[in-house]
Structure 1
Amino acid sequence: MTLRKIIHIDMDAFYASIEQRDNPELRGKPIAVGREEERGVVAAASYEARKFGVRSAMASTRARKLCPELIFVPGRMEVYKKVSEQIRDIFAEYTDLIEPLSIDEAFLDVTENKKGMELAVDIAKEIKRRIREELHLVASAGVSYNKFLAKVASDYRKPDGLCTIHPDQAQDFIDHLPVEAFWGVGKVTAKKMHELFIHTGKDLRACSLEMLTHYFGKAGQLYHDFARGIDERPVEVIRIRKSLGCEHTLERDLTSRTSLIIELYHVTTELVERLKRHNFRGNTLTLKIKFHDFTQITRSQSTVQPLVTLQDILPLAKQLLKEVDCEHHAVRLIGLSVSNPQEDRKGVWRQLELPFKR
């Protein structure tokens, strides 16, 4: 069996790097892409800012406290999209098997590539060089025989990293990985694993499939395979959209249910416009609420008929809101999404971007 050759390319501090590239006065300085205001959120941070603990999705007020010299720069999504397309054009010179994960990262399957290059690491080096020379930006790359290891490798030596995980080195590499580095293991899952005395890939590999599925459900199979260097997922060029949604960060924290219903109406109106624009029809509505302390909950309900119009969605959204204790927990953000698409839908999409949200 021929081993696949997978590359994961991840742009380093993508939005912030573009701003520093286009404005020489910002180079070498801590910058944050986003709005500097009480309700603002950091969309991206330069590596100079990250040294102070500034991170994406952080409240702007918190970022300012961590880094008093932080420079806020308004986002320019149209520019970022254009640069992303230029990067993708470079990828396409080597392979057509490209799976974008977001606007600034993608998987490439170069097992059979257009250049006839034998080593995937040479392709990764060439792509990194071209991104630097042609676009004046920096990318990190990971190379391995599956998506999981390629992703881990690209994160291993950031920024400007290049790491190859060979098959004969993979198990030892995985055994020494902290579980936080595993794909799909967030803070909550990592905490649960630590409570089960699972701290490294070696600890994870010692767990039975039955144990992992008992504690982590379907994801248990994934963790079981990853701990053994197994990941058969292909690089997918086209995906069926599984959900569509929108969310609003409120101008001020709200506890009034009446005020929240008004905001819910605005979110629903925007969602209906997006559903129409993308010709998306789903049967499950999910309400997302983020409280003043940044904790969040979701509430979902499925219907027999597709959720398409304001009349379909708003009453159901109000019903979901009734399940939320807003009077004692001020709400900072409210969002809605429709998922569980109908099987006969013909639309497909390419996952190219993660847009800014209000």
Structure 2
Amino acid sequence: MNPSQEKNGAVRKIIHVDMDAFYAAVEQRDHPEWRGKPVIVGGRPSGRGVVSTASYEARVFGVHSAMPTSQAYRLCPHGIFVPARFEAYKEASAIIRNVFYEYTDLVEPLSLDEAYLDVSKNHTQNPSATLIAREIKQKIYERTKLTASAGVGPNKFVAKVASDMDKPDGLTVIPPESMEHFLEELDIKKFYGVGKATLRKMQGLGIQCGADLKKWDLFELVQIFGKSGQYYYRMARGLDTRPVQSHRIRKSYGKERTFREDISEREYILRFIEGLSATISEGMRTIPAAGKTITLKLRYDNFETISRSLSLSHHTNDASEISLVTQELLKGTEFGERPVRLLGISLSNLDINEEDQAQQLQLSLDK
């Protein structure tokens, strides 16, 4: 069976909708005087927080999510820094999700601001996924005054990549007969699931685009990239049969360690976070998976346990990004002042790229 087809032989029609700079766009909508200006949602520039979302006007100056707000301020001192208002974002997200359900019950939310839709069969009996995607974008704007970008393809991988091709307010359609050429021409940086470290490794092997990746056989890719090699092999060929899961189970992936002795040294803890972030990144790439919410768990010597979390505007499994965000979250604790007994890092709001990874993924390094 062709990977773009359902069991009955019909071609699947998948839409991936991704809101444009969602948190920042909500702020600009609710504060008309901020429209057209660089808006940065996250911590205070004088504090220890990180950027959650940056408007497109701020991105011109190099500001991006997961960046320390102090660094964002240096890059864009005239930016408008605002704290996150999650109730406002949830309200807008609920309106957007209702639009999706007008067309299909097969909606798989990935976070507040993005979702997959399977419109192969839909409530409007419209045979054109392209027209449905255009209508969805229009209704979202009419009801929320927010723009969305959409990708249409024969499977989830292609639809997700397509939604990022023409941001903001874009619509990219990859029909089944164009999928092979599209993937062969696609810059390897655009392949969803290829992080910074993997990108460097691939480029070192002369893999610059999908056609280059396609030249490598399955055995070679698994030898080089481990289990992730299977994923790269399949995606280079558009072999993605994952269904849109309308009842998606919340997933997380994390590791934690109880130290043999309570730790007070700041440098030791920072080095430990770097190593733990690398281990988590490697594990997530093996699945492969990426998460939007990073959570730090800390237990002091008196067994008091605290947690600090940050939701990004994108999925990540990059070790350096996980480490950076965790270290920023750590600044909101009393580490270095109070001995630490346990430290853990987890990522949630996952996008899982394998069908068999449906259960909670929580590993422990307790000793």
Aligned mates of 2:177, 2:186 — CA distance in 1 = 16
Question: Could you report, residue by residue, the CA deviation over 1:307-346 in whole angstroms, capped at 9, with x for unpaired residues?
Answer: xxxxxxxxxx947x6xxxxxxxxxxxx63579xxxxxxxx
- 1:265 aligns with 299
Q: Deviations over 1:238-275 (max 9, x none)?
A: 2334437799xxxxx93377xx9xx822697346xxxx
**1:176 correspondence with 2:185:** yes
1:168 positional shift:
1.3
Q: 1:289 to 1:175 in 2, by over 3 A?
A: closer
- Specify the alignment match of 2:37 in structure 1: 29
Q: Name the CA shift for 1:239/1:219 in 2 (closer, same or farther; >3 Å).
A: same
* Aligned-partner SS, 1:255: helix
Map of 1:159 onto structure 2? 168
1:195-237 superposed Cα distances (whole Å, 9 cap, x missing partner): 1111110000000000111111121111111111221111111
Closer, same or farther in 2 for the Cα pair 1:337/1:91, shift >3 Å?
A: closer
Q: Which residue among 345, 349, 354 is the counterpart of 1:335?
A: 345
> Unmatched 5+ residue regions in structure 1?
248-252, 272-287, 296-316, 322-333, 339-347, 350-358
Seen in structure 2, the aligned counterparts of structure 1 residues 144 and 137 have a Cα distance that, compared at 3 Å, is: same
Q: d(CA) in 2 for partners of 1:290 and 1:170?
A: 36
- Distance in 1 separating the partners of 2:115 and 2:304: 31
Please give the root-mean-square deviation of Cα atoms over the aligned residues, in Å: 3.2
- Structure 2 CA distance for partners of 1:75 and 1:246, relative to 1, 3 Å: farther
SS at match of 1:199: coil
SS at match of 1:150: helix
Distance change >3 Å, CA 77–CA 292, structure 1 → 2: closer
Does the residue aligned with 1:15 lie in a helix, a strand or coil?
A: helix
Aligned residue identity for 1:290: S
Q: Determine the C-alpha separation between the residues in 2 that align with 1:185 and 1:193.
A: 9
1:95 correspondence with 2:104: yes
Instruction: State the one-letter code of the partner of 1:34.
Output: G
Q: Residue 268 of structure 1 contacts residue 336 of structure 1 at CA under 8 Å; is this kept in 2?
A: no
Q: 2:93 aligns to what SS in structure 1?
A: helix
What is the percentage of aligned positions where both structures have the same residue? 51
Partner of 2:246: 237
Asked whether the 8 Å contact 2:298–2:306 carries over to 1, the reply is no
Partner of 1:12: 20
- Residue of 164, 189, 192 corresponding to 2:201: 192
> Relative to 1, partners in 2 of residues 1:23 and 1:265: Cα closer, same or farther, differing over 3 Å?
same
The AA in structure 1 aligned to 2:39 is I
Partner of 1:290: 323
Is the Cα–Cα contact under 8 Å of residues 109 and 248 in structure 2 kept in the other structure?
A: no
Structure 1: how far apart are the matches of 2:324 and 2:117? 39
Q: Distance in 1 between matches of 2:305 and 2:232?
A: 39
User: How far apart, in 2, do the equivalents of 1:337 and 1:230 lie?
Assistant: 27
2:61 alignment partner, SS class:
coil
1:356 counterpart residue number: none
What secondary structure sits across from 1:239 in the alignment?
Answer: coil
Q: Look up the match of 1:115.
A: 124
Any conservation in 2 of the 1:4–1:111 contact (CA below 8 Å)?
yes
Show CA shifts across 1:132-178 (max 9, x none).
Answer: 11110000000010001100110000000001001111111111111
TM-score of the superposed pair, with normalisation by structure 2: 0.71
- Residue identity matched to 1:66: L
Asked whether the 8 Å contact 1:246–1:270 carries over to 2, the reply is no
Distance 1:16 1:163 in 2: 23
Q: CA deviation at 1:194?
A: 1.1
Give me the whole-angstrom Cα distance separating, in 1, the residues matched to 2:142 and 2:22.
Answer: 16
Residue 85 in structure 1 maps to residue 94 in structure 2: yes
1:207 aligns with 2:224: no
Contact 2:109 2:116 in 1 (8 A): yes
Q: Specify whether residues 318 and 196 from structure 1 end up closer, same or farther in structure 2 by C-alpha distance, changes over 3 A only.
A: farther
Q: Quick check: 2:252–2:346 contact (8 Å CA) kept in 1?
A: no
Cα contact 1:246–1:337 (8 A) shared by 2: no
Change (3 A) 1:232 1:268: farther
Change beyond 3 A, Cα 1:139–1:246 = farther
Q: What is the CA-CA distance between 1:38 and the residue it aligns to?
A: 3.5
Aligned counterparts of 2:327 and 2:69: Cα–Cα separation in 1: 13
SS for the counterpart of 2:239 is coil
Distance in 2, matches of 1:20 and 1:246, equals 37
C-alpha deviation, 1:35, in angstroms: 1.6
- Provide the rounded CA distance (Å) in 1 between the counterparts of 2:247 and 2:187: 32
Alpha-carbon distance change, 293 to 84 in structure 1, aligned in 2, over 3 angstroms: closer
Residue deviations 1:19-58 (CA, integer Å, cap 9, x gap): 0000111111001011222312111000100111110111
Aligned residues of 2:95 and 2:143 also touching (Cα < 8 A): no
Note closer, same or farther for the CA distance 1:34–1:207 as it changes in structure 2 (3 Å cut). same
TM-score (norm 1): 0.72
- 2:203 and 2:322 mapped to 1: Cα distance? 28
